[in-house]
């Protein structure tokens, strides 16, 4: 289904539409909100690589997102490091963290996997909270300037948005390549029937670990875009509610569809933003929670997934 | 707390994020009971779990029932949505700031144990916890209904074939698990503020306890819960700054050495 979508003309149209919305976005919403949406979209796609294509539900992905965000903002604000170095260091941090966490978590499956990733993410949360000298505790880390890249100042929000958009597009393209590679095929086989994949001689633990590291690293990249875009790393970035948020986005859009999580992130962030502006403002979580609960009960395939399903039904009368 | 989760998971294969929220609701029911109708503390220990348990029953019958045939992950996600809703609803109803909950006068003060002085209320909590553990263990291991619940956990199809209504058993077990969480909430209320997020801190610790002890192993989660409670008390004295991380370090070590948990069997790890 997925590969069919990616290769098909319909898939190209969806991709084109998403790209168009991406390019037009800063004209409709504040640039910083646009950065948030794109960063979350990449985060959700990275997450989907794990849940949708490998079948592993991580409930601790905020640790890569928020953790990498902290590394980049601390380097920018406290060490006045050049922008590329700060970003690179943050991504490396996310990658190494994912390697360690992944090595522990893949020892268990399903629910246990989710609970272990959650617990390890909380472990990092406590460290961030306790190391207030570095992380600012409850105040977080503020960055006064984003610095420069190749001599170009990055402090124009609209300009930075387009840089973020390009990076996120590359990230998504990378995930598409991974999913469509022979490696991606093995991941799919493991998701469908792990015993059989083992019987066929694949070392599933190694594949899982690689998928986990890829996903965590990309989530870290997304977190850097988010933190630098907002010029702020806060505790809520490493909190478990953020881990839950990315799960909600992916399910809302449709897991295992690549485009779904992007749509889900866009819908979630804009809903979140507009609901918080209305009279329902203080009930944002109630609204989002209700939508998500209905999604889990009734539309488990998500927005894009449901669209695909109706399409297939019509095609095969 | 861990006990409620272990019972629910063992039986239903559903991990309940909303357990923390139920914990919080239990505390709030006791709080409002005291504020509005002057409900004393000791009856609240019974009333609050019953009310919250009924609420849990409602959720199970209306929503969760639809998710049983599916991947357990959907149950987890649904309860996560419930947490968002319940927490925000309580924030609206009660405000984000907590309200202090007075320790019942009978249990205020300290008791001299001979070698050390200990707050009476803590002793009371430990006592109640031990009693509850024994009762749960007794019900599950020594009564006909416990036998059915265990049987339904291990071979639901066979049990159904013998003419037992497993659906009803599931509902009862879920409600009981939720009620245990609410009881935990009421017991914890005098030690901390009653606030909408009070369940958050507890649920993560509970998850860690259950992973360490081995899911679905009731004895395991009791022993682990007590051991870790002791460890945290010691940790608070030895390295206060990183006390919160201790439990996770223990979890990592246990996972590396014994992936199925201290008291879990390898088969239940799947």
Beta-carbon contacts below 8 Å between A and B: 115
Contact B72/A111, CB-based, under 8 Å?
yes
B259 touches chain A (CB under 8 A): yes
User: Mean per-residue pLDDT for A247-263?
Assistant: 83
Helix (H) or strand (E) holding A149: strand A148-149
DSSP H helices in A106-232: 110-130, 132-135, 157-180, 182-192, 194-199, 204-230
Within 8 A of A59 by CB-CB distance, chain B residues are 76
The H or E element spanning position A102 is: helix A83-105
Q: Answer whether residue A217 shows pLDDT above 90.
A: yes
Cα B244 to Cα B235: distance, rounded to the nearest angstrom: 9
Burial level of A116, CB count in 10 A (0-12/13-18/19+)?
Answer: buried
Of B77, B200, B251, the CB nearest to A119: B251
Collect all residues of chain B within an 8 Å Cβ-Cβ radius of residue A115: 15, 207-208, 210-211
Chain A touched by B87 (CB under 8 Å)? yes
**pLDDT, tens digit, for every residue of A82-119?**
888 888 999 999 999 999 988 888 877 777 788 788 88
Collapsing DSSP to helix, strand or coil, A141 comes out as strand
Q: For position B130, what pLDDT does the model report?
A: 73
**Would you call B84 and A285 a contact, using CB atoms and an 8 Å cutoff?**
yes
CB atoms within 10 A of CB A77: 19
CB atoms within 10 A of CB B230: 10
Per-position b or e across A82-106, b if 16+ CB within 10 A of its CB? ebeebbebbbebbbebbeebbebbb
Q: Are A61 and A237 in contact (CB under 8 A)?
A: no
| Residue B70: per-residue pLDDT | 67
A57 phi, psi to nearest 5 deg = -95, 110
Dig out the tokens for B154 from the structure: 């291990």
Q: Burial, B84: exposed, middle or buried (Cβ in 10 Å; 0-12, 13-18, 19+)? A: buried
Query: Per the structure block, which two tokens stand in for A83?
Result: 């922008």
A165: CB partners within 8 A, 6+ apart? A22, A23, A38
Residue B191 confidence (pLDDT): 66
Per-residue pLDDT at A316 exceeds 80: no
Predicted ipTM of the assembly:
0.72
Distance from CA of A144 to the nearest CA of B (A): 30
| A115 vs B15, B81, B244: nearest CB | B15
User: Could you write out the three-class secondary structure of chain B?
Assistant: CHHHHHHHHHHHCCCCCCHHHHHHHHHHHHHHHHHHHCCCHHHHHHHHHHHHHHHHHHHHHHCHHHHCCCCHHHHHHHHHHHHHHHHHHHHHHHCCCCECCCCCHHHCCEEECCCCEEEHHHHHHHHHHHHHHHHHHHHHHHCHHHHHHHHHHHCHHHHHHCCCCHHHHHHHHHHHHHHHHHHHHHHHHHHCCECCCHHHHHHHHHHHHHHHHCCCCHHHHHHHHHHHHHHHHHHHHHCHHHHHHHHHHHHHHHHHHCCCCCCCCHHHHC
- For residue A202, what pLDDT band results from cuts at 50, 70 and 90? confident
Mean pLDDT by 10 residues, chain B (270 residues): 48 59 78 74 76 80 72 75 80 68 66 65 73 75 76 71 75 78 76 70 71 65 69 66 71 73 52
Cβ-nearest to B63 among A114, A297, A300: A297
Nearest CA to B72 out of B8, B155, B20 is that of B8
CATH number of domain containing A19: 1.10.3470
pTM (2 d.p.): 0.79
Tally the domains of chain A: 1
Question: Which range among A28-32, A228-232, A265-269 shows the weakest confidence by mean pLDDT?
Answer: A28-32
Mutation target to probe the A interface, by most A beta carbons within 10 A, among B80, B82, B262 is B80
- Domain of A265? 2-315
Reduced to 3 states (helix: H, G, I; strand: E, B; else coil), residue A52 is helix
């Amino acid at each position: 289904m997925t590969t069919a979508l990616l290769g098909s003309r319909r898939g190209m149209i969806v991709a084109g539409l998403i790209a168009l919305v991406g390019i037009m976005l800063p004209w409709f919403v504040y640039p910083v909100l646009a950065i948030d949406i794109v960063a979350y979209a990449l985060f959700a796609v990275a997450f989907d690589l794990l849940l949708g294509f490998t079948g592993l539900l991580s409930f601790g992905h905020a640790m890569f997102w928020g953790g990498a965000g902290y590394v980049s903002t601390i380097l920018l604000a406290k060490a006045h490091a050049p922008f590329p170095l700060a970003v690179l260091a943050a991504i490396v941090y996310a990658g190494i963290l994912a390697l360690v966490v992944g090595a522990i978590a893949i020892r268990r499956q399903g629910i246990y996997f989710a609970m272990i990733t959650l617990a390890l993410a909380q472990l990092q949360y406590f460290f961030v909270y306790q190391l207030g000298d570095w992380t600012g505790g409850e105040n977080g880390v503020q960055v006064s300037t984003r610095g420069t890249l190749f001599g170009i100042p990055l402090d124009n929000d609209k300009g930075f948005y387009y840089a973020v958009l390009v990076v996120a597009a590359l990230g998504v393209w990378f995930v598409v390549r991974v999913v469509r590679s022979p490696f991606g095929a093995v991941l799919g086989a493991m998701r469908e029937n792990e015993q059989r994949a083992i019987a066929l001689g694949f070392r599933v633990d190694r594949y899982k670990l690689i998928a986990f590291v890829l996903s965590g690293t990309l989530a870290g990249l997304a977190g850097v875009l988010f933190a630098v875009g907002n010029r702020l790393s806060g505790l809520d970035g490493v909190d478990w509610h953020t881990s839950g948020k990315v799960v909600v986005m992916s399910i809302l859009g449709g897991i295992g569809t690549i485009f779904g999580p992007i749509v889900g992130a866009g819908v979630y962030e804009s809903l979140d933003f507009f609901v918080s502006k209305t009279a329902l403002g203080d009930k944002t979580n109630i609204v989002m929670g209700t939508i998500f609960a209905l999604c889990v009960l009734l539309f488990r395939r998500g927005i894009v997934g449901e669209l695909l399903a109706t399409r297939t039904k019509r095609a095969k009368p | 707390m861990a006990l409620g989760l272990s019972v629910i998971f063992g039986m239903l294969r559903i991990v309940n994020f909303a357990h923390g929220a139920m914990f919080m609701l239990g505390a709030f029911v006791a709080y409002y009971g005291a504020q509005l109708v002057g409900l004393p503390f000791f009856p609240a220990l019974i009333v609050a779990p019953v009310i919250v348990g009924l609420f849990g029953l409602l959720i199970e019958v209306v929503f969760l029932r639809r998710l049983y045939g599916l991947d357990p992950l959907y149950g987890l996600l649904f309860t996560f949505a419930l947490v968002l809703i319940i927490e925000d609803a309580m924030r609206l109803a009660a405000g984000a700031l907590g309200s202090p909950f007075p320790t019942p006068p009978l249990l205020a003060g300290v008791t001299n144990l001979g070698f050390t002085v200990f707050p009476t209320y803590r002793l009371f909590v430990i006592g109640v916890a031990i009693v509850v553990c024994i009762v749960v263990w007794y019900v599950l291991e020594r009564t006909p209904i416990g036998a059915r619940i265990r049987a339904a956990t291990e071979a639901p199809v066979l049990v159904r074939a013998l003419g037992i209504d497993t659906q009803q058993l599931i509902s009862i077990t879920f409600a009981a698990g939720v009620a245990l969480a609410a009881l935990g909430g009421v017991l914890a209320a005098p030690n901390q503020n009653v606030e909408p997020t009070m369940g958050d801190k507890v649920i993560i610790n509970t998850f860690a306890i259950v992973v360490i002890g081995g899911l679905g192993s009731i004895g395991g989660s009791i022993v682990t819960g007590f051991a870790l409670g002791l460890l945290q008390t010691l940790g608070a004295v030895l390295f206060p700054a990183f006390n919160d991380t201790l439990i996770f370090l223990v979890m990592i070590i246990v996972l590396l050495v014994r992936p199925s948990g201290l008291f879990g069997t390898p088969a239940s790890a799947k």
